Structure 1
């Protein structure tokens, strides 16, 4: 279905054309890519675009360039659904596992991102979900490899790094710290080194700084708390009560991370990694500044993964709820985006409010597991110190 639809839907014109340009540049000169292009993407996904560019350079394949740009994310959709199915089979029935995979595969929020828009959030989500699953299985080395790849694909990969730190603090083993450090540095070196010849020693740091400072707004079409207040595309230096939107956003990141850490500490179990990752992305997207409309995308898959481990049906409702808001937000920007950001209308207001309510509901679910000792499916109960 995705492959049939993808060639007939041109995708987001700006993003598709940008990816095509980067794919051609990478195919012509991979190691000199950042010298000949204006890409604001970190290096990891450039390898994927390099392969796409090489395929598109074959005359018989050039007619399918748009499909080739979308294909990695389309394949990632299927791979993520299969991964969710395989993990679920260890903890829930075959029927439920199949329903989880089917829900993700045919989810309009997932479909519109890869097949219609042509964005790469599906590929990023596959890496994150696989990394969090491996972390839950105490395979910290491979989890670190994937998390490093996620950070080197999109800066928002940093949002998930605290979960790795929580697990390191939980296990309290020097060997684990060593494995994580070596795995992370080796992965980063292998990905970054080919692009570094002839570059300024600080080139990667400057790339991230430029990317992170590219949109200095309270919200960048993200239907979240700041958009709810009417601050979409408002400068993040503007004041909201005592502080600027940027300062409020940083404070909220600290609060969300501390809440995740509290939950993980109470849980005393690596299986809480998935719900901690869900809290991180849902909380940061909803209450931080400079968020884009697509940054919440991994929440749908992470909620399903968290359900598999905790077997709390409320997490299925959260996956459905986040899928709804992700779809509405993506649809609104893809089809109705205007210069200066999405208008403050009923759709923006209600979707932003729903995201805030979903975050509150997620906090309630976590609270029940970590304070009221809710028992679900044999997962070790949280203990109150």
Structure 2
């Protein structure tokens, strides 16, 4: 395929993907989405507008890292710039723009998949990968309807992996830091980059001194982006005043505090933990009211949270060891997809949308064969059912250990969320509405079981694909051309 034709097709697909998302976000679902989180983001914008780079000091509940704060700051500027054109643009205010960064991040992921796919699979596969990502329902559902920002972290995570495969570790380090400073899940990419770098040095594909330049590039990126913000305000020791170190410790504190917010079996994710407990999430959710089970539930005498952590660490350790030994593009990409998928399936405390980032690499890994493309579409449909069950109707969520205080709930805002991040205003006062569509069917117990089964089967197939990729290290491009 000529480069001109490649560009024309890619431009057409990305334009169609943008039009779809724009129509959903700013047409059908204008100022609608997961209202609690959107309103929380607006509160953060207000604090940033008032306090600037000291916002973390005055609002410690702002539990997303500095890159996201930079994004909100950019939206504040953009909102002021377009305000004079309000009559032309219609019902636009600053928080109407909250879905915009994720929409453009979706396009960035598609572009990265196309170019990486073209390099390692061939032009056709690169375009198929981009098309799969743009149009499977889960990706546009999360960004354009839900209003969540998972693709903002997925883009630098994907670029970090692409550049480490391409033996450009300094650029990989830059995008690693950007991912880590966007959302906590961005830290997962370390478990891919580090073993690949070690393997490249051990096998003399890179010189050992590149470690120093890689660390330097990452440290410089962290300094430029994180240090201006008051992340050190989280630290309660003399180390808070040490340049860079105080900010790094503050980031770590924020990460651990966020991880401890929901110590539950599953935070509405339809993974195997949704079937555990009495009653389980699968048994409760049909009623529209869920009492989350704590992950200290003993299984064979061991708390479920420990089981989940151990299972995920075993998966991560196996991937780590195998990547040191073998790290061609297929092996690295499949390992990355498996790690992200495993993060959704194995640990406790997982939210329903945590699988969304895996599609940013699964679209490329499974683009090579028609059968796997069909599996990807089925997986995307199943995960969208999970998202729809949580977003599209008035689901009440309570902590099973504080049921006595659950009666303090207000309308569609869950008491769990109210305890975690109290805000000055309800979504309605900001003009933000919940998406309301029929969702009872997505909460039927047999539907939950079906989605869990689809997730589990797809996860097992991905494990098999990774094992196969390590047994048959045939170059990607030649394999894709024979399939």
TM over 0.5: yes
Please tell me whether the aligned partners of residues 57 and 230 of structure 2 are also in contact (alpha carbons under 8 angstroms): no
Cα deviation, residue 29, structure 1? 2.7
What secondary structure sits across from 1:181 in the alignment? helix
Alignment counterpart, residue 267 of structure 2, candidates 220, 242, 257: 220
Greater RCO, CA 8 A, separation 6+: 2
Say whether the 8 Å CA contact 2:170–2:213 is kept in structure 1: yes
Higher Rg = 2
Query: Which residues of structure 1 form unaligned runs of 5+?
Result: 380-385
Equivalent residues of 2:138, 2:380 under 8 A apart: yes
- How is 1:149-298 mapped onto 2 (pairs within 5 angstroms)? 149-172=178-201, 173-196=207-230, 199=233, 200=235, 201=240, 202-230=249-277, 231-232=280-281, 233-298=292-357
Structure 2 residue runs without a partner (length 5+): 1-19, 202-206, 241-248, 282-291, 400-441
What RMSD over aligned residues (CA atoms) do the two structures have, in Å? 2.5
Say which of 107, 118, 131 aligns to 1:102: 131
- 1:382 alignment counterpart: none
Distance 1:344 1:187, change over 3 A: farther
Map 1:33-182 → 2, pairs under 5 A: 33-37=55-59, 38-58=61-81, 59-60=83-84, 63-172=92-201, 173-182=207-216
Q: CA deviation at 1:69?
A: 0.6
- Corresponding residue pairs, total: 378
Aligned equivalents of 1:376, 1:31: Cα separation in 2: 46
- Structure 1 residues 85-94 or 337-346, which shifts more? 337-346
Scaled by the length of structure 2, what TM-score is found? 0.72
Contact 1:307 1:315 in 2 (8 A): yes
Q: 2: CA distance between counterparts of 1:312 and 1:264?
A: 23
Q: Residue deviations 1:130-152, cap 9 Å, x none?
A: 11111111111111111122112
Deviates more, 1:249-258 or 1:55-64: 55-64
**What's the counterpart of residue 323 of structure 1?**
380
Is the contact made by 2:142 and 2:148 (CA closer than 8 Å) also made in structure 1?
yes
Q: Which residue of 1 aligns with 2:396?
A: 338
Greater CA deviation, 279-288 or 167-176? Answer: 167-176
Per mean C-alpha deviation after superposition, the further-off stretch among 40-49 and 149-158 is: 149-158
More deviation, 282-291/26-35? 26-35
1:363 aligns with 2:397: no
SS at match of 1:221: coil
Residues 146-195 of structure 1: per-residue CA shift (max 9 Å, x gap): 11221121111222211011112201242232223222222222222111
Worse-matched range after superposition: 77-86 or 199-208: 199-208
